[in-house]
């Protein structure tokens, strides 16, 4: 499901924030105030996932400078999140992660963002059948201050994401919002952008 250009699906769920369990956490609190990078990951206590979660924590100051809230989400419970956040990194934990980790235990958030792996169906006897694991792919969504999704990326589970690329896309969106210029391939802050016109493209390509 393509969510770009649409309102980000709303939710309320338990989350772990700065090491404590918080009930009824949602993204509506950021509307009108902050951009949001909402990312999904498959499971707590796994292998690629901690590299990403700790990576986002290490880059938190860069997101803060851009007025971006970082929020993680998986189908694990808030108690699993809490245990992982309170486990030392040398023992496979992510101790020190302070941004919110949402517990999508009912799998409704992952489903509404269309990142839920596995297949469900009801057989002829009325039994629920599941093929594969109902866990989240590595989905990432950049949501603007109006609550609109402006960028989405979904990786298969073995493929870790680039936090540098996430920051680059945030910079590109904010540059467009501030100056009205569009950002070409591999654009970074300080690079030349383009006016959205045939003349602007011609001028950019001639340099």
Q: What is the pLDDT of residues 102-153, one digit of tens each?
A: 999 999 999 999 999 988 788 787 877 878 799 999 999 999 999 999 999 9
Average confidence score pLDDT of the chain: 95
Query: pLDDT confidence of 195, banded at 50, 70, 90?
Result: very high
Residue range 42-46: mean pLDDT, rounded: 97
Clarify whether 73 is annotated catalytic: no
DSSP, collapsed to helix, strand or coil, labels residue 138 as: strand
CB-CB neighbours of 47 under 10 Å: 12
Of the chain, the percentage scoring pLDDT greater than 70 comes to: 100
| Angstrom distance (rounded) from CA 26 to CA 21 | 13
pLDDT of residue 121: 80
Q: How crowded is the C-beta side of 152, counted as CA atoms within 13 Å?
A: 17
pLDDT of residue 206: 84
pLDDT of residue 128: 77
pLDDT of residue 25: 98
**Site of tokens 């338990």:** 14
Topology of the domain comprising 13-159: Glutaredoxin (3.40.30)
Backbone angles phi, psi at 199, to 5 degrees: -65, -40
Q: If we measure between CA atoms, which residue out of 187, 177, 147 comes closest to residue 66?
A: 177
pLDDT of residue 123: 78
Residue range 153-167: mean pLDDT, rounded: 97
Q: So where are the chain's domains?
A: 13-159, 162-207
List, in sequence order, the alpha helices (H) in 30-154.
Answer: 48-58, 60-65, 78-85, 108-112
Backbone angles phi, psi at 41, to 5 degrees: -140, 160
Q: Which two tokens stand for residue 43?
A: 């499971």
Q: What is the pTM of this model?
A: 0.94
- Angle at which helix 48-58 crosses helix 163-179, to 10 degrees, equals 40
DSSP letter at 202?
H
Q: Which of 49, 73, 129, 183 is catalytic?
A: 49
pLDDT of residue 165: 98
**Site of tokens 């009912």:** 106
């Amino acid at each position: 499901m393509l969510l770009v250009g649409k309102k980000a699906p709303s939710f309320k769920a338990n989350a772990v924030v700065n090491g404590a369990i918080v009930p009824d956490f949602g993204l509506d609190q950021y509307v009108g105030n902050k951009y949001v990078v909402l990312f999904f990951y498959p499971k707590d206590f796994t292998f690629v996932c901690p590299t990403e979660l700790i990576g986002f924590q290490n880059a938190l100051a860069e997101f803060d400078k851009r007025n971006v809230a970082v929020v993680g989400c998986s189908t694990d419970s808030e108690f699993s999140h809490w245990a992982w956040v309170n486990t030392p990194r040398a023992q496979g934990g992510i101790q020190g992660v302070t941004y919110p980790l949402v517990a999508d235990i009912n799998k409704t958030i992952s489903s509404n963002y269309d990142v839920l792996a596995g297949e469900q169906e009801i057989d002829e006897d009325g039994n629920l059948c599941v093929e594969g694991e109902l866990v989240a792919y590595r989905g990432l969504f950049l949501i603007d201050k109006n609550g609109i999704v402006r960028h989405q990326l979904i990786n298969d589970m073995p493929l870790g994401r680039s936090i540098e690329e996430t920051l680059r896309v945030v910079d590109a969106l904010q540059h467009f919002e501030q100056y009205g210029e569009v950002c070409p391939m591999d654009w970074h802050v300080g690079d030349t952008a383009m006016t959205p016109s045939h003349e602007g493209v011609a001028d950019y390509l001639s340099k």
